[in-house]
C-alpha cells in the first residue's frame, strides 16, 4: 500500500513538472539578463524577445527570435504595441491539458510559451524624477502588465518572472532543476506576479487620484521583520523603507514598541530648530530641554524625570559630542537617535552591546495617518499645524513676557505630542513635568504638579500648556496657587470667560491658539 501511494505521488509530481522549451523575454532593465539568457541557451530553450531585449541578447551571441517574426506585425505606435497579439497571448494562455486549445495552437502556428520574463516600465521612478506628465504616461506599461497577468493566470503550465527582483531566484531554479519547473514553483511565481501587477496599478492609481476618491488603497513592497510586537509573544512587521529614515549603527533588532517610540520622537524633535534633547517613554515626552550647548540640553532633559528615562528613547536634532555622550552613557536606555555622532561619542555609546544607536536622515513623511480599527481603517491628516509667536492670541489684560512666550511655544509643542488629557508645565525651555492620558484635565494637572515637586522643581514663573480647552476655571486656579504665571490653551469652551476672568483677577496671562491637539 505504501509503495502504491509513493508511486502515485511520484507520478503526480512528474505530471505537474514542465520542461521549459520556449521563453518570451520583454524587459526594461537588462541587469542579470545575460546570465539568464546564457542559462536558457545552455538548456536549448527557444528565446523570443522584443526590441531592446532582442538587441541585447543578440549582442551576447545568443540566438533569439523577434516577436515581430512570430506575429508578422512590427512594433507600432512608437512602441506602444509590440506583444499585444493572439500569437503571443495564445502561446501563453493555451491550456496544455485541453485538446481543443492544443489543436488551435497547432492550427495557427502558435508556440507554447513555458516561461515569460517581464520587467515593467519604471513608472514609480519616472514619477519621482519629476518628469513631465506625458513622459509619465508613456511609462504606463500595457503589454508587459498584460503578459504578466496572462502568464500568472495560466500558472498550471507557465512560469512567469514579473520583475528583475526575481531574476536571482529564476537563475537558481534554472541551475538546480535544469529547466524543469513544478506546479509549486509556478504558483509561487504567479503569486509574485500578482503582487507586482497590483502594486504597479496602485502606483498608477495614486498618480491619477488627484480628486482624492474616498477609497483606502495601500501597497508597500518592502517589509522589515521586527524583534517582536508590543509583547514578546506577538510577531511584528514594518512595511516601508526604514533605511530612508535612519541608519542603525549599533545594537539589537528593533521591536514594534521601539519603532512606535522612534516615530513619536522624530515628529517631536522635527518641531524644534534650536539645539534640543528629548526623552520619550511610551510615545510621551518625559524630559525635554532646549539649550545653546547640547550637553546642557541633555542634563536638563534628564532632570525632568530621571526615573521614567530608564529604558526610554533619546532623541536630539544635533550631532552628539563626546561630552554629551559621557552623560548619556550613565543611564540605561533602549534607543538613541541623532543626525550624527562624533567618533569618540559613538565609541562611548557602543559600550553596551544592545543599545540601539540610530543616525537620522532627512526624510519626507506621509501627511496622512491611519490605523486598523474594528473591521476597517480610520484615516486622518497628521497634526502638523505649526504655531508661531505672532499667531497666539492674548486674551487677558496681562500679556506674557518675552521669556514666557518662548516657554509657552515650547510647552505647546510638547503637549501636542502627549496623550490626552494632557497638561505640560515648562520653565526656561525645559519640561518641568507633564500629566499624561488622564480622564480629566484637573487630574492631568495634579499629576504634573506632583511630579514636578517630587523632582525638586520650583513652579514659580512656570507656564502651563493644555491640549484642549478648560471647561472650568478650576485648572487655572490650581496652577496659579502653585506659582504658574502664564497659560496656553486652544480656547473654544462656552465657559472660556471664567478662566479669563480668573487670570485677570490674579494677574496671570493667558493665550489662545485656536487649535486643539487631542492625541488618543
pLDDT at 241 over 60: yes
Q: Domain ranges in the chain?
A: 15-208, 242-360, 390-512
Mean pLDDT value of segment 195-214: 89
pLDDT at 13 over 60: no
Asked if 153 is an active-site residue, the reply is yes
Lowest mean pLDDT among 66-70, 317-321, 367-371, 491-495: 66-70
Average pLDDT, the chain: 91
Mean pLDDT value of segment 46-70: 88
User: Pairing mode, if any, of strands 333-338 and 312-316?
Assistant: parallel
Q: What are phi and psi of 119, to 5 degrees?
A: -130, 115
Cβ atoms within 10 A of the Cβ of 413, count? Answer: 25
The C-alpha atoms of residue 48 and residue 23 are separated, in whole angstroms, by: 6
DSSP per-residue letters across 268-320:
HHTT--S-EEEEEETTEEEEEEE-SSHHHHHHHHHHT-TTTTTTEEEEESS-B
pLDDT at 6 over 50: no
Determine the pLDDT at residue 3. Answer: 46
Task: Give pairs for 504-509: CB < 8 Å, separation 24+.
Answer: 504/396, 504/397, 504/398, 506/480, 507/398, 508/396, 508/398, 508/476, 508/480, 508/484, 509/394, 509/396, 509/398, 509/399, 509/400, 509/401, 509/404, 509/485
Q: What is the number of H-type helices and E-type strands within the chain?
A: 19, 23
Q: Which of 382, 417, 408 is nearest to 269 (CA)?
A: 417
pLDDT at 54 over 80: yes
Determine the pLDDT at residue 15. Answer: 62
The C-alpha atoms of residue 491 and residue 469 are separated, in whole angstroms, by: 5
Matching CATH topology for 15-208 and 242-360? no
- In angstroms and rounded to an integer, the radius of gyration of the C-alpha atoms of the chain is 32
Q: Which of 259, 256, 225 is nearest to 245 (CA)?
A: 259
The C-alpha atoms of residue 517 and residue 323 are separated, in whole angstroms, by: 36
Q: Which of 457, 417, 416, 409 is nearest to 433 (CA)?
A: 457
Catalytic one among 153, 199, 446, 506? 153
Asked if 353 is an active-site residue, the reply is no
pTM of the model: 0.84
Specify the DSSP class assigned to residue 490.
Answer: -
The C-alpha atoms of residue 395 and residue 404 are separated, in whole angstroms, by: 15
The C-alpha atoms of residue 21 and residue 11 are separated, in whole angstroms, by: 21
pLDDT at 49 over 80: yes
pLDDT band (50, 70, 90) for residue 14: low
Percentage above 70 pLDDT, the chain? 97
- 302 or 390, which is more confident: 302
Determine the pLDDT at residue 146. Answer: 92
CATH architecture of 15-208: 3-Layer(aba) Sandwich (3.40)
pLDDT band (50, 70, 90) for residue 9: very low
Distances (CA, A) of 220 to 142, 202, 216: 22, 10, 13
pLDDT at 496 over 80: yes
Encode pLDDT of 87-101 as tens digits.
Answer: 888 999 999 999 998
Class of domain 242-360: alpha beta
Determine the pLDDT at residue 1. Answer: 55
- 233 or 76, which is more confident: 233
pLDDT at 7 over 50: no
pLDDT at 278 over 70: yes
pLDDT band (50, 70, 90) for residue 69: confident
Lowest mean pLDDT among 136-145, 151-160, 241-250, 401-410: 136-145
Contacts of 49 (CB under 8 A, 6+ apart): 24, 25, 26, 57, 64, 65, 66, 67
pLDDT band (50, 70, 90) for residue 168: very high
Catalytic one among 187, 224, 282, 322? 282
Encode pLDDT of 298-323 as tens digits.
Answer: 999 999 999 999 999 999 999 999 99
Mean pLDDT value of segment 204-229: 87
The CATH homologous superfamily to which domain 390-512 belongs is AICAR transformylase, duplication domain (3.40.140.20)
pLDDT band (50, 70, 90) for residue 450: very high
pLDDT at 477 over 50: yes
Determine the pLDDT at residue 153. Answer: 95
Torsion from C-alpha of 245, 249, 251, 253, nearest 10 degrees: 40
User: Pairing mode, if any, of strands 246-250 and 237-239?
Assistant: unpaired
User: Pairing mode, if any, of strands 46-49 and 65-66?
Assistant: parallel
Determine the pLDDT at residue 72. Answer: 76
pLDDT at 129 over 80: yes
Helix axis angle, 441-454 relative to 474-481, nearest 10°?
A: 10
Determine the pLDDT at residue 294. Answer: 97
Mean pLDDT value of segment 434-451: 95
Specify the DSSP class assigned to residue 389.
Answer: G
- Widest distance between CA atoms in the chain: 99
Amino acid at each position: 500500500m505504501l509503495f502504491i501511494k509513493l508511486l502515485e505521488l511520484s507520478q503526480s509530481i512528474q505530471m505537474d513538472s514542465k520542461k521549459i522549451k520556449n521563453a518570451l523575454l520583454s524587459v526594461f532593465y537588462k541587469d542579470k539578463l545575460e546570465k539568464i539568457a546564457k542559462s536558457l541557451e545552455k538548456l536549448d530553450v527557444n528565446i523570443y524577445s522584443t526590441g531592446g531585449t532582442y538587441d541585447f541578447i543578440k549582442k551576447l551571441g545568443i540566438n533569439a527570435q523577434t516577436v515581430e517574426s512570430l506575429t508578422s506585425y512590427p512594433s507600432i505606435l512608437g512602441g506602444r504595441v509590440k506583444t499585444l497579439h493572439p500569437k503571443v497571448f495564445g502561446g501563453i494562455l493555451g491550456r496544455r491539458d485541453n485538446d481543443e486549445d492544443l489543436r488551435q495552437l497547432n492550427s495557427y502556428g502558435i508556440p507554447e510559451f513555458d516561461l515569460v520574463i517581464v520587467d515593467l516600465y519604471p513608472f514609480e521612478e519616472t514619477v519621482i524624477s519629476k518628469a513631465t506628465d506625458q513622459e509619465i504616461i508613456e511609462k504606463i506599461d500595457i503589454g508587459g502588465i498584460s503578459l504578466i497577468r496572462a502568464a500568472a493566470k495560466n500558472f498550471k503550465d507557465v512560469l512567469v518572472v514579473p520583475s528583475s527582483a526575481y531574476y536571482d531566484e529564476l537563475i537558481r531554479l534554472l541551475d538546480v532543476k535544469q529547466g524543469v519547473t513544478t506546479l509549486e514553483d509556478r504558483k509561487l511565481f504567479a503569486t509574485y506576479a500578482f503582487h507586482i501587477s497590483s502594486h504597479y496599478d496602485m502606483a498608477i492609481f495614486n498618480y491619477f487620484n488627484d480628486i482624492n476618491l474616498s477609497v483606502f488603497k495601500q501597497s508597500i513592497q518592502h517589509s522589515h521583520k521586527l524583534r517582536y510586537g508590543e509583547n514578546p509573544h506577538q510577531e511584528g512587521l514594518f512595511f516601508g523603507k526604514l533605511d530612508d529614515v535612519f541608519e542603525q549603527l549599533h545594537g539589537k533588532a528593533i521591536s514594534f514598541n521601539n519603532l512606535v517610540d522612534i516615530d513619536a520622537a522624530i515628529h517631536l524633535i522635527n518641531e524644534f530648530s534650536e539645539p534640543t534633547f528629548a526623552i520619550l517613554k511610551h510615545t510621551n515626552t518625559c524630559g525635554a530641554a532646549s539649550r545653546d550647548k547640547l550637553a546642557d540640553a541633555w542634563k536638563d532633559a534628564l532632570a525632568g524625570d530621571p526615573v521614567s528615562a530608564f529604558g526610554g528613547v533619546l532623541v536630539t536634532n544635533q550631532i552628539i559630542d563626546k561630552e554629551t555622550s559621557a552623560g548619556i552613557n550613565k543611564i540605561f536606555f533602549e534607543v538613541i537617535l541623532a543626525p550624527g555622532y562624533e567618533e569618540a561619542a559613538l565609541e562611548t555609546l557602543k559600550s553596551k552591546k544592545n543599545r540601539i544607536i540610530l543616525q537620522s536622515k532627512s526624510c519626507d513623511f506621509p501627511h496622512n495617518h491611519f490605523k486598523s480599527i474594528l473591521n476597517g481603517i480610520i484615516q486622518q491628516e497628521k497634526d502638523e499645524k505649526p504655531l508661531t509667536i505672532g499667531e497666539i492670541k492674548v486674551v487677558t489684560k496681562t500679556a506674557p513676557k518675552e521669556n514666557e512666550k518662548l516657554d509657552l511655544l515650547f510647552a505647546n509643542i510638547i503637549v501636542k505630542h502627549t496623550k490626552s488629557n494632557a497638561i505640560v508645565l515648562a520653565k526656561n525651555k525645559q519640561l518641568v513635568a507633564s500629566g499624561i492620558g488622564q480622564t480629566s484635565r484637573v487630574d492631568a494637572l495634579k499629576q504634573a504638579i506632583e511630579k514636578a515637586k517630587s523632582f525638586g522643581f520650583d513652579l514659580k514663573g512656570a507656564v502651563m500648556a493644555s491640549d484642549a480647552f478648560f471647561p472650568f476655571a478650576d485648572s487655572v486656579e490650581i496652577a496659579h496657587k502653585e506659582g504658574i504665571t502664564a497659560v496656553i490653551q486652544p480656547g473654544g469652551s462656552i465657559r472660556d470667560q471664567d478662566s479669563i476672568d480668573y487670570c485677570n483677577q490674579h494677574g496671570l496671562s493667558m493665550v489662545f491658539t485656536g487649535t486643539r491637539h487631542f492625541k488618543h
